[in-house]
């Protein structure tokens, strides 16, 4: 769809919600409690079916969507016609479908402590093919992808996902699924030990991490990897803010867990909002854990940085969903985000309508 046709399709609806992203995000914890949903945009729906899908969500109080894939012209027009903010949901450092990078720059991909590339030896699952955040050409490439996405007139913001290192330790609820006991950091899951990371760390510390007796115990090496991801976020934020758009990210549940499991220090990122994935079932926890996690995140963030609690619908029957929404709100969350829109039953939408609609 050409730009002119897109603008005609959006019509007056776009003008009516032009300030919506700013209202949703910039007011932080002072704003009304808001609901978002992650959306897989590749579902086979016509433009009218997409608009009906979004209308169903909007009627229950969901005012913003985070959309992966699909036709941005059609999807953003349908969302805006229903008065919803539209953010593009992008996979950043995990690049399983990026055949151009895989074919032209295999050296970009992260290397484990065992010396194996995630391109040829992906950890856990076949789609775990991660690029290294320490490499300047990688960051430049990612900036270009984000710049292009943010330039679309129907996009209100960019939502970063997989903006981290691979899981050095999985959430405990997933250990049985992969027949693992991860009571320590195993070398095949510990990234990145590529030559660029090793040389950069050695130039700062005098130590090559691969030669350390126990690199998992070295605080400076941990911080190096936290900071490498943070630098990517800073550069991507510059691109998105330069386009006059909002930038958010899906992150691991709390600053403590994010640092431990995936080398992520998200409380320091220059985002407009943060969406921790508070999937309590993955951690063998009850919904009360969501409240504890929200409180930790809120206390770690700047006062004006809203936190939207990410909730995993397969672990939430309608009654528990309502309970968990209340727990998140009372703990200080600015809103919630639901994974994902196709899992929202009529009963769940009724609960949301009563809680936030």
**Domain CATH number, residue 263:** 3.20.20.80
Domain around 231:
3-10+28-107+124-180+227-356
pLDDT of the residue at 24 = 47
> Among residues 83, 282, 85, 65, which one has the least CA distance to residue 173?
282
How many domains is the chain built from?
A: 1
pLDDT of the residue at 347 = 98
Does residue 301 form part of some domain?
A: yes
Return phi, psi of residue 167, to 5°.
-60, 110
Q: How far is CA 320 from CA 56, 286, 311, 323, in A?
A: 21, 10, 11, 5
Does residue 213 form part of some domain?
A: no
Does residue 165 form part of some domain?
A: yes
Does residue 23 form part of some domain?
A: no
Does residue 324 form part of some domain?
A: yes
**End-to-end CA, the chain:** 33
pLDDT of the residue at 113 = 98
Does residue 115 form part of some domain?
A: no
Return phi, psi of residue 335, to 5°.
175, -170
Structure tokens that stand for 12 in this block:
């007056």
pLDDT, tens digit only, all 357 positions of the chain: 333 333 333 333 333 333 344 444 544 333 489 999 999 999 999 999 999 999 999 999 999 999 999 999 999 999 999 999 999 999 999 999 999 999 999 999 999 999 999 999 999 999 999 999 999 999 999 999 999 999 999 999 999 999 999 999 999 999 999 999 999 999 999 999 999 999 999 999 999 999 999 999 999 999 999 999 999 999 999 999 999 999 999 999 999 999 999 999 999 999 999 999 999 999 999 999 999 999 999 999 999 999 999 999 999 999 999 999 999 999 999 999 999 999 999 999 999 999 986
Q: Where are the beta strands (DSSP E) in 178-300?
A: 246-251, 273-276
Q: How far is CA 99 from CA 102, 105, 118, 129, 138, in A?
A: 5, 10, 14, 11, 14
pLDDT of the residue at 32 = 82
Does residue 199 form part of some domain?
A: no
pLDDT of the residue at 250 = 98
Does residue 218 form part of some domain?
A: no
Instruction: Report the relative pairing of strands 308-312 and 335-339 from DSSP bridges.
Output: parallel
């Amino acid at each position: 769809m050409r730009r002119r046709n897109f603008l005609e399709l959006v019509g007056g609806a776009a003008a009516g919600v032009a300030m919506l992203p700013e209202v949703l995000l910039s007011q932080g914890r002072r704003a009304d409690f808001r609901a978002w949903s992650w959306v897989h945009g590749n579902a086979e729906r016509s433009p009218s079916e997409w608009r009906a899908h979004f209308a169903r969500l909007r009627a229950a109080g969901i005012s913003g969507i985070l959309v992966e894939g699909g036709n941005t012209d059609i999807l953003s027009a349908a969302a805006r016609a229903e008065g919803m903010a539209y953010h593009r949901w992008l996979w950043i450092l995990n690049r399983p479908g990026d055949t151009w990078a895989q074919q032209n720059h295999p050296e970009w991909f992260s290397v484990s402590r065992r010396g194996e590339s995630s391109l040829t030896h992906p950890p856990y699952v076949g789609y775990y093919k991660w690029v290294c955040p320490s490499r300047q050409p990688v960051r430049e490439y990612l900036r270009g992808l984000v710049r292009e996405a943010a330039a679309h007139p129907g996009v209100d913001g960019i939502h970063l996902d997989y903006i981290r290192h691979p899981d050095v330790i999985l959430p405990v609820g997933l250990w049985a699924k992969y027949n693992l006991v991860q009571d320590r950091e195993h070398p095949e899951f510990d990234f990145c030990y590529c030559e660029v990371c090793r040389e950069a760390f050695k130039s700062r510390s005098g130590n090559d991490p691969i030669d350390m007796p126990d690199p998992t115990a070295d605080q400076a090496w941990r911080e190096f990897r936290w900071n490498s991801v943070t630098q990517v976020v800073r550069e991507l934020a510059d691109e998105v803010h330069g386009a006059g758009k909002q930038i958010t990210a899906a992150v691991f549940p709390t600053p403590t867990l994010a640092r431990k499991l995936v080398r992520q220090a998200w409380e320091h990122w220059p985002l407009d909002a943060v969406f921790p994935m508070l999937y309590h079932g993955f951690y063998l926890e009850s919904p009360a854990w969501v409240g504890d996690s929200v409180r930790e995140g809120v206390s770690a963030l700047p006062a004006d940085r809203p936190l939207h609690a990410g909730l995993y619908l397969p672990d939430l029957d309608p009654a528990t969903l309502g309970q968990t929404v209340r727990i998140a709100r009372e703990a200080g969350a600015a809103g919630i985000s639901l994974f994902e829109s196709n899992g929202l039953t009529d009963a769940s939408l009724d609960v949301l309508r009563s809680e936030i609609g």
